[in-house]
Amino acid sequence: MLHVALTNTGNTAVLLGHCPTSVDRRTGSSWIGADADVTCDALLSRLGPGATLHAYIDLPPLPSGSYRLNYRFRDELSPSGDAAGRATSNVFVVGN
């Protein structure tokens, strides 16, 4: 179980899901998509400027390495439009 804290550092409220859209693994100096089935609450939250969302992600066993989570978010004023942006987590290490 991984605890994730997502903070809105922008000036407007956003709509953000609790589940990441993908998991990346560092390979050399590049990031590639990791084959990881993530389990988490399928919730959508409103995050005002400066607000933090705490979510818990259940990751499958992963090989040792460095990983990051990717999220998509939408501007609160256009919830049905295309994703307004992408947020990437800090790097976390599995194993050594």
Proportion of the chain above pLDDT 70, given as a percent: 91
Res. 81: pLDDT tops 60:
no
Condensed to tens digits (0 to 9), the pLDDT of residues 23-65 reads: 999 999 999 999 888 888 778 889 999 999 898 888 888 999 9
Provide the pLDDT confidence category of residue 74 given band limits of 50, 70 and 90. confident
Which residue bears the tokens 């969302």? 53
Going by C-beta distance under 8 Å and a sequence separation of 6 or more, which residues neighbour residue 42?
17, 18, 19
Let me know: does 33 contact 20? Beta carbons within 8 Å.
no
What is the predicted pLDDT for the residue at 30? Answer: 97
Kindly report the number of other CB atoms within 10 A of residue 72's CB atom. Answer: 16
Does residue 96 have a pLDDT over 60? yes
